[in-house]
Structure 1
Amino acid sequence: MTKIRYTQAVNEALHEEMERDPKTILFGEDVALAVFGDTRGLLDKFGPQRVRNTPICEATIAGMAVGAAAAGYRVIAHMLFSNFIYTGFDAIANQMAKLRLMTGGQIDLPITVLAVYGGGASQAAQHSDANHPVLMNLGGIDVLVPATPADAKGMLKTAIRSNRPSFFLEASGLGAVGGDVPDGEHLVPLGKAARPKEGSDVTLISVGSMIRATHSAAKKLAAIGVDAEIIDVRSLVPLDEKTIVASVMKTGRAVVIDEARDMCSAASQIAAVIADKGFAGLRAPVRRVTVNNSSMPYAPNAEAAIFPNADDIVRAAASICQREVA
């Protein structure tokens, strides 16, 4: 095991996969400068034939990704901030998500789109969306939200090797977080949730960036006599419904924590799955901890007021466990 930061884990995965397959290429906004550090050193190592900056035009990036993948390349496209996905959405929603079906499986699209998402860093409304719910709704695209350095590296390597298009979303609040990453070849399967903590009273289901607040909440809940189990979904498409439902059937209670806006969030989908497939085991309503239905403000104090935190999770869990919070 080696302890590295989340961004370093992403960078290692990119280096290893580009070394592994000479048909793997990378392009996108500021990939040479590597403003987030995740693409650092790739241009120097692999050269401008395989690593290229693009203009600030996400429609071009998404269209290039579809065309290059259809022509036989394994594509890594960096959109920088996930809000920029919106301006590339025609090629994403109408081509990337649909071409394999429309060609009867004749065209594979091995595309991995990288983008940093989420609030908590005062990056204002146009750089702070957690827009995974929009991608979840497309069909035909995997949506990955790893929360630890080990999962970031292992899931990114798996995604790059897949012939399905995927969005690998890096939480802006996790880039500097450290963690142990296995040495040597490390692959993490998609569609398999993690259970970093066992518990008996309530299941806390964390989506991506919310893992730190969820762990903090579990410690605070223990102080008032609530034994929380934590499920880290890791990927939203495919979603590990079996692990989620089994955990809720054991504890009888669930809180879903998601940085997306409340309406049509990943938390809403997970809550619906629990209601459909785990209703018989529920002893209380499913609670959601999300962002309210507004854009993320720039001012740090205003952003903090709507950004989910450990105390929000504790209050939600305590309410369905019938415990008092000081």
Structure 2
Amino acid sequence: MCSQSPSHLTPHGPCTSGTFAEIEYDYADCFISDFWPPSASSWIDRCHSWPQPFVVDDIVKHGCHFVAIGQKLGRNEDHEWRISFSLTEQKLVYAMDHCQFSTYGLLKMFLTEIINIGLSGDDKLLCSYHTVFWVILQNTIPHWCPKTLLECFWVCFKLILKWVYEGICPIFFIPDNKMFLSKIHGDKQHQLFMRLYGLYEKGLAFLLHSPSIRSCIINVLHNPRLSISTDDHTLISEIDFDVSLYNEIQRLGTSYKLNIQGCIRYLHTIEQMISSSLLTKYQVIKLHKATADVLQNTAFILHVETFTHKKKLRYRADRMSYHMLKSAAKFGFISDKLYIAMYYY
């Protein structure tokens, strides 16, 4: 088909791409299958919460398509056909709620205007479909709503970063098959990861590099009838947040070992930090260990300060210390259980 009109048409995967009246299009010759492929049967069993059963039934009922494109790393590229889930993906996009669709749109603008800008079809390494699908299916985000739009985008972005780092992106319908194997490897993988990681270090502020997203924000700021709500913590990168969290713990760590009052202030600060929804699982682990440390120190300080008190008061302090050490063993490392033995010794 491309040879018929070389000036207007270009190959794009299994498709012939062109522009008609300033509208881009893809045209693909394909065979339709009336049956859902057995290799994708596990997808049906994974759909417990999304999409709804009638959507799954409709997708399975209409089967899939086969397009003429082979594995680029194989020997039979010109003789192989590949399963296409393009129409199925469209049905899943229609099954998204408003916030999920907005997140998908935000990802699409991010990839088009920041990552893939200036690249030809074959050089575009990422797509936005599978990221949102996996995040929705795995219930990674408990609440999809306009207030959490940036948080939803950030979760999807970190999943892309993880896939590029590992060089493996599981196909949504057939997880055993991987999308990146023929494209993202070697120098391309390293360069793409370093670029994405550079954006990760900047935090969500990198979205302002997208003309469409930046213009939307500017329109809101200049419209007196509209307002935009931002949380300062969402505009700094997680790396900066890690550093500030570590510095705060280190600063407090020098004071809590002196007296009970310092320990109480330290625990109160940790309580405020742990309630933040912005914490990553690694930051939570760091706070758990900090909690264990301060509980252990509190127990021993309490023991020393009540050593000369009356027997009843000393007994109460002893029971409190025991419970604190028991909690510390629960929050901290396995070796922290030894502090209970040390205390009784």
TM-score category, normalised to shorter length = under 0.3
Relative contact order: is structure 1 or structure 2 higher (C-alpha 8 Å, sep ≥ 6)?
Answer: 1
Return the index of the structure with the highest Cα Rg.
2
TM-score (ref. length: structure 2): 0.24
TM-score (ref. length: structure 1): 0.25
Looking at secondary structure, tell me which structure has more strand per residue. Answer: 1
